[in-house]
Amino acid sequence: MLLMTITLAQASAVLFDLDGVLVPTVELHKRAWKQLFDEVLPPQVPPYTEQDYYTYVDGKPRYEGVDSLLKSRGMHLPRGSSSDASYVRSVCGLGNRKNEYFEQQLEQQGIEPYPDTVDALRHLLAQGLQLAVVSSSRNAEAVLSAAGIREYFRTVVDGGVGAQEHLQGKPAPDTYAYAAHALGCESAQCVVVEDALSGVAAGRAGDFGLVVGVDRGAGRRALLKAGADLVIEDLVELIEDSVRRARFHQMPRLDTSMYPLDPWSFAQKGEPTPESATLFSVSNGNIGIRAAGDPDRSLGSGTFVSGYHDTFTITHPEGAYGYARVGQLIQGVPDACGFTVRADNLPLPQPEETTQKLDFRTGVTTVYSRYRLRDGAMLNMEIGRMACLFDQDLALCTLRLDCREREVQVEVNGRLNDQIPSKPVSSDPRKSAHVDGCGIHEEQLGKAGHFKQGQMRLYRCNNSRLPLLVAVSQRLEQAGQARELGGEPWQFSVKPGAAVTIERYVAYETFPIEPQGLARGLEVSTVGNDVQELVRSGAAALERAQQAGAESLLIQQSSWLDDFWQRADIRVEPGDDGRIQQIIRWELFQLAQVTAQIPNGVGAKGLSGLGYDGHYFWDTEIYVLPFLIYTDPARARQILHYRYTMLPAAYKRAAALNLAGALYPWRTINGEEASAYFPTGTAQYHIDADIAYAVTQYALTSADKDYLASEGIDILVQTARMWLSLGSYRSDGHFHLQCVTGPDEYTALVDDNFYTNQMARFNLQAAYRAVQQLSREDGESFGRVSKRLRLRAAELQEWVDAAEAMAVPYSKEHKVHAQDAQFMSRPEWDFEHCTARPLLRYYHPLAIYGHKVLKQTDVVLALTLLSSWFSAEEKRLDFDYYDPLTTGDSTLSAASQSVIAAEVGHDDLAQHYFMESLFADVCNLHSNTTDGIHLAAAGGVWSTLVCGFGGLRDTGGTKLELSPRLPQGWKSLSYQVQVKGTRIRVRINQQGTDLERLSGPELELCVDGSLRRV
């Protein structure tokens, strides 16, 4: 019979064993059994051991357990009757004596369920599942009541029911089948959860839909061998998708046999996974190409283009004024980097070997595969994918085939993949949603779609009306000869010793977004709208590529990356096998490729996947921009320019919330607020201060006065105006910000969030100082700015006053800064019993908001960004208080925790959080790598190395200082930064810190409290 395993989501009921699954009565049972057999077994037979418990009695009815153990010792007693007194020397008498011992211990010691039992049961009931207990014990009802969990179960089938109904005990499936029938369910609809081998065997024998083994000592292999479909260690795993983060300390390394060590590349041997498609993706900031690993390369699984998205009307079941009304979804574009190959008129078999490799010095991802054909000949295939870092319009895809044994007839189909993907179903808010009506459709180009150099196709988003032109051409090279390829499929022969290579050039053309929101409807404005302009650009891009050729494009790509690594590489000697250095470069490469070209904003996932719907958040300004400000300030300015062009949309959003100035959207692509859940969306007003912080950090660190006068000042002034209108003075004389949400989304709609207040204070001060600087240094610019922004002297003073009076929540009892005005009065989250992670997926927001529990710690992040505002003792006390309350459910959390932990001397924690951030994606620690790179985590790795271990702090560019904290066990760390036109290299080892000026004028820096001239 073919058994079909179901998932928990498909089940109707869950049938639990009791002892060792829901409650730890196993210890009571073990002691009772030991007490019995120590009394009963004669000295001439082997004494009773703990292994005997698992082998002979665990999971069986009591009398069968007695009989089984006695027979293992060659002993035979009459069965007797269940009414036998405990002193009667019969199987039943001894069984009753064991029960007396158990009841004595239960009465004396009581029993508590396993820490996560209640949490798991509540979640299962909330999913509409029926629950039952199936136990061999006659004490099941008493144990469930003593443990306080009887109410969760509709049916209890215990040893008494089994005897009354004449049911065979485990490993026979009778008791489980009886429970399923009592619940009105078929066995195939039920999940059996067991810790005993006999119970697992019963579940398997009864053809139940899913048999889950709980490893409480029986062993994973033994449970699987007994018939378990799945083995878990804790019940919470029934409701979680993954517990990778919780067990990170057990697996901080990648298997070198699967992921070879190489400081300049990252490779994976074996079948690519959905995570591989993300990890080996390539991008140039305008084009993003996922790697091998997705089931297909349909829309959303292959290629993305910057800013290209569709829109839809957000439907609020209970709407209100000012709610976000236009949703935005990143739109996958037709993919040109997939090839379907047939050999000898047959589909290729499964490859015998596969390796996927991303080279950090060439920016090319290559998939190497070896196929054994029917006659044993080996066909080698190599697919290369590259987004040209030096040319935003171009991508290069190559296919190379060779066979040494014989000639092979090959057919290759390389059609554009514009297939609509299947609708994803997920309750995870981090994943992209599917919205009916969103998507793309093809429009006819007529004769313009066919030209000498290749072929073009025009697409348009259904609602946003954004156009996209895809232009492709390809040529075949073999034995030094080249010819153009047109049409599909392509047929040719691969001869021994003469590899065949197909080079495909792809150009994607669309118009940059005008991120000023939507005036009406769903159509998005762009910089340009003439489709013929796209046609001309596409033709020009293909012509550039064809004239250069693939080899020249690869050389230009390598040259671009040589320049990047020369100024941005971070070298470490951490005393490991080289893996840390390898993954550091993988993270830096992600930052490099996603910011190589910046036609629009930079999304939280870059262009590596559908996660977060492709939206831009505060991540860019706080986690990505510091890297650019200190390594490539020109690109940092480009990103800030996009925020400047978003100001009209920010004015409109502020007006909708009855505020002055500008309020930036919490999540967006086109400038319109796209967050439908305002408590953790629009209420995160701190995004204004985050952008103002980045503006200030860039302007002061790069000394770009032109930017400040032309664009930066507008952002600073308009965000300062927003804060002044949002807050108010109270009778205590302080300026308060009410009903806001900080970066920590587990404490929403609070008063005086510490991070928000402190960053708003910085914002107000920065606006005042910028205006004053312009007034002193550039009177002409100041005049234009004053007129453009209608500045008033009284207004400037209001900023100063509000900043000085800003409320700073503080707990005198704990001697720490309070996360918000209400935080210290809340009860602490039950970390022992409510363990499912991330919390936002498994607990209602109201259950979270009322507790002391953090997704990420706002206070510690404020200490990091505004370092010079706080003493070392304040940082230590704050960190020590908030760290145990932080779940780290956000990938943004670990970086700031590592930075402050390093500063206050918690070296072990600093290294732990660094590793957690470093391996977040490559080890899939948050179970969503398949949705795209966590770009902020990559920026956090740079910040941890440079600002944490490397000791660089600048308080938003206002006070630059170095105080390195090299981790214990590390030999050295070196990095480069550019400050006011001067590039320096910082080298840190156990002996101290060395500074070397590489270019630019002399610079004075404070290092460990002393001034140094470089």
238 contacts: CB under 8 Å, gap ≥ 6: 8, 14, 120, 123, 124, 193, 212, 232
Catalytic residue among 509, 543, 745, 916: 745
DSSP string over 73-104: TT-------TT--TTS-SHHHHHHHHHHHHHH
Residues 112 and 745: their CA atoms lie apart, in Å, by 33
Residues 356 and 276: their CA atoms lie apart, in Å, by 8
Q: Which residues are 472's β-sheet partners?
A: 455, 506
- The angle formed by the CA atoms of residues 425, 306 and 540, to the nearest 5 degrees, is 135
Cβ(1006)–Cβ(999) under 8 Å?
A: no
Omega prior to 838 cis, within 30 of 0: yes
Comparing C-alpha atoms, which of 589, 561, 701 is closest to residue 942? 589
* R_g of the chain, CA atoms, integer Å: 33
Helix (H, G, I), strand (E, B) or coil at 604: coil
The CA distances from residue 468 to 322, 375, 471, 529, 730, in Å, are 32, 45, 10, 11, 54
Comparing C-alpha atoms, which of 699, 696, 689 is closest to residue 806? 689
Residues 719 and 702: their CA atoms lie apart, in Å, by 22
Residues 133 and 622: their CA atoms lie apart, in Å, by 51
69 contacts: CB under 8 Å, gap ≥ 6: 37, 48, 52, 56, 57
Q: Which two tokens stand for residue 760?
A: 């708003």
Q: Which two tokens stand for residue 145?
A: 């009541």
The CA distances from residue 233 to 22, 25, 194, in Å, are 12, 17, 11
Cβ(810)–Cβ(732) under 8 Å?
A: no
Let me know if 745 is a catalytic residue. yes
Residues 472 and 705: their CA atoms lie apart, in Å, by 43
Cβ(500)–Cβ(401) under 8 Å?
A: yes
367 contacts: CB under 8 Å, gap ≥ 6: 272, 291, 292, 354, 355, 356, 357, 381, 382, 383
Residue whose pair of structure tokens reads 């048999």 in the numeric block: 211
Residues with catalytic annotation? 745
